[in-house]
Structure 1
Amino acid sequence: MLRITLEQWRMFRMVAEHGGFNQAAAQIHKSQSSIHSAVAKIEQSLDVKVFSVDGRKTKLTAAGEMLLRRANYLLDEAEKVEAVGHTLALGVEASLRVAVDEVFAQQVLYQALEATSQKYPLLRIELIESILSGAHELIENNQADIAISPIHLPNGFNEHLCQVEFAAVASPTHSLHLLKRELTLEDLKSCRQIVLRDSAHTKRSDSGWLGAHQRWTVSHLRTSIDMISNGLGFAWLPVSSIKEELEQGVLKRLPLTHNAKRTSSLYLVFQDEDRLGLGARTFIEQLRRLCEVASAST
C-alpha cells in the first residue's frame, strides 16, 4: 500500500515550482494548511526533509530535488494513463493536431487528410505548418499530436517516412544563369541566398545556409519560391513544391559542379501511440500508404 497519494505529490511539486506554500495555494486553489499537511505527510512517511526555509524563501533540499525528479515522472505518467483512458472512452477523438514541415509533399498530405476526414467527418483537424525544428518542438511541448519532421524525437516514436529531394534553383534571368557555365560554391556566395527561418522558438537551425554575403530570411516556403521566381535570389527548394515552376520555366536548376541536388529525410513522430485515437491512426495509415506509392513512382 502506497503511503503517499498522487495528490500529495502534486502539492509538493506545486510548492517547489512556485517557491512557497502561499504561492502554491493560490495556484491550485487549496488552503495553505492542506498543502502544509501534504508536504508534512511526505516528510513523515519517508523520514526526510524536502524543504528548507531561508527567510521568506522556501527552497528544496538535496533530498527534495531528487524526490521532485521522481515525482515529476510519476505525475506525468499518471496524466498519460488518464489521457489514454479518455481516448479509449471516446473511441474517436474530437480533434487532431498535425504539425507538418513545409517541405513535405503537399499532395500526399492533402490526400491523407481527405481520406481521414471522409472516414471521420466530425473530426476537427488542425494543421500546423512548420520549418526545420518547429514540428519537433510542437510535439515536445504537447502542442501537436503527430508531426512530420526532419528531426528525431529523443523519447518518442520515430519512423522514417520519406526522402525529400532539393534542387538549387534561380530564375532563368538571374545573374548566375547568365554566366553560362558550371557554378562553384564561391559563385553562389557572391549572390543573395533566400533562407527559410526555423519556426521553432528555441534551438533554431540555419540548415542549408552557405554563408552567402547577402541573405534574406523568410518564414514560409511559398514566400521563398515567389522571391526566387522574381529573380531576387537563389535557394535549394524541395522539388515536389516547385514542379510547376520548373515545367513552366519560371525556375531553372543551377548547373553546379557539386551538390546540385540534396536529400533530406522526414520522420513520422509522436509521443505515445497509446494516446492516439482512431482518427490519428487512420491518418498515419494513409500517410504510410501514400508515401510508399509516391516512393515507388519515383
Structure 2
Amino acid sequence: MPKATLEQWRMFKAVVDAGGFNQAAEQVHKSQSSIHHAVHKLEAALGLGLFESAGRKVKLTPAGELMLRRASLLLDEAYKLESVAASLQNGVESQLRIAVDIVFPSHILYSVLSQVSDKYPLLHVEVMETVLNGANDLLQQGKADLAISPFVYTNGFSEDLCHIEFVLVAHPEHPLHALERSLSLNDLKAHRQIVVRDSSTERKAESGWLGAEQRWTVSHIKTSIDIVAQGLGYAWLPKAMIESQLSQQALVQLPLPGSNLRQASLNLSFEDGDKLGPATREFIGLLRFETMQSTGCRVANVTDSD
C-alpha cells in the first residue's frame, strides 16, 4: 500500500506552486494548519525532508526537487483519469476543437466535418487555423482536442497523416523569370520573398525562407498567394492550393537547380486516446479515409523519405 495519499501530494505541490504555506492555503481554500499537517505527514511517511527554511519563505530540498517532478506526473495522471471517467459518464462529447495548419487541404476538412456533423448534429465544432507550431501549442495548452501540424507532438500521440507538396512560384512577369536560366540562391536573395508567420506564441519557426534581403511576412497562406499573383514577390506555396493559377499560368514555377518542389509532412496529434469521445473518434477515422482518397495531400508510404 502507498505510504502517502494523493491529497498529501496535492498539498505538497500547492505549497511549491504558491510559494509558501500561507499562499497555498488561500489558493486551495484550506487552513494553513491543515496544509502543514498534510506536508508533515507526507515527510514522515517518506522519511524525507521536502522543504527547508529560507528566511520567511521555504524552499525545496534536493530530495524535494526530485519528489516534485514525480508528484507532478502522478497528479497529472490522476487528473487525466478523472477526465476519462467524465467522458465515459457523459457519453457523446458536446464539442470538438480542431487546430489545423492552414496548408492542410480545406476540402478534406470540410467533407469530414460535414459527415461528422450529420451523425452528431448537436456537436459544436471549433476550427482554429494555425501556422507551423501553432496547432501543437493549442493542443498543449488544452485549447484543442486534435491538432494537424507539420511538427510531431512530443507530449502525446502523433501519426504521419500526409505530405503536402510546395512549389516555388512567382508571377510570369517577375524579374526572376526574365533571367531565363536556372536560379541560384543569390538570385533569389536579391528579390522579395513572401513568408507566412508562425502562429505559435512561444516557438517561432521559419519554413522555406531562402534568406532574401527583403521579405514580407503575412498571417495567412491566401494572403501570400494574392501578393505573389500581383507580382510583388515570390513564395513557396502549396501546389494543391494554386492548381488553377498554375494551369492558367497566372503563377509560374521558378527554375531551381535540381527541383523546385519540396515536401512538408502533416501529423495528426492528440493528448490521450482514452479521453477521445465517439464523435472525435469518428472524425479521426473519416479524416484518415478521406486523406487516403485525396490527391491534394499525399499519404506517406514505406518508400517516402524526408
Q: What TM-score range do you get, normalising by the shorter chain?
A: over 0.9
1:196 match: 196
2:208 match: 208
Shift of 1:274: 0.5
2:16 match: 16
Alpha-carbon separation, structure 2, partners of 1:258 and 1:213 = 23
- Opposite residue 78 of structure 2, the aligned amino acid is A
Q: How many residues were matched structurally?
A: 298
Alpha-carbon separation, structure 1, partners of 2:53 and 2:259 = 61
Shift of 1:120: 0.7
Shift of 1:297: 9.8
Any gaps of 5 or more consecutive residues in structure 1?
A: none
Alpha-carbon separation, structure 2, partners of 1:28 and 1:248 = 64
Deviations 1:87-135 (A, max 9, x none): 1112211111111111111111111111111111111111111111111
Aligned CA distance change for structure 1 residues 214 and 48 (closer, same or farther; 3 Å): same
Percent identity, aligned pairs only?
53
- Opposite residue 98 of structure 2, the aligned amino acid is V
Alpha-carbon separation, structure 2, partners of 1:57 and 1:241 = 58
2:221 match: 221
1:140 match: 140
2:119 match: 119
CA contact (8 A) 1:100 1:149 kept: yes
Q: State the TM-score, normalizing by the size of structure 1.
A: 0.95
Aligned CA distance change for structure 1 residues 200 and 296 (closer, same or farther; 3 Å): closer
2:235 match: 235
1:54 match: 54
CA contact (8 A) 1:106 1:241 kept: no
Shift of 1:296: 9.8
Deviations 1:50-100 (A, max 9, x none): 111111221011111111111111100001111111111122111111111
Shift of 1:243: 2.1
Other structure's SS at 2:262 match: strand
Deviations 1:169-222 (A, max 9, x none): 111222212333332222111100011111111221112111111111111111
Alpha-carbon separation, structure 2, partners of 1:110 and 1:193 = 31
Other structure's SS at 2:294 match: helix
- Opposite residue 288 of structure 1, the aligned amino acid is R
The two structures, once aligned, show a CA RMSD in angstroms of 1.6
Alpha-carbon separation, structure 2, partners of 1:36 and 1:259 = 67
CA contact (8 A) 2:158 2:268 kept: yes
1:185 match: 185
CA contact (8 A) 1:145 1:270 kept: yes
1:35 match: 35
Other structure's SS at 1:242 match: helix
Stretch moving more, 74-83 or 87-96: 87-96
CA contact (8 A) 1:162 1:295 kept: no
CA contact (8 A) 2:116 2:283 kept: yes
Stretch moving more, 170-179 or 282-291: 170-179
1:44 match: 44
Alpha-carbon separation, structure 2, partners of 1:89 and 1:295 = 40
- Opposite residue 293 of structure 2, the aligned amino acid is V
1:247 match: 247
1:30-109 mapped onto 2 (5 Å cutoff): 30-109=30-109
Alpha-carbon separation, structure 2, partners of 1:212 and 1:248 = 27
2:287 match: 287
CA contact (8 A) 2:164 2:296 kept: no
CA contact (8 A) 1:168 1:237 kept: yes
- Opposite residue 49 of structure 1, the aligned amino acid is G
Alpha-carbon separation, structure 1, partners of 2:185 and 2:258 = 8
Deviations 1:208-257 (A, max 9, x none): 11111111111111111111111111111001222233234332222223
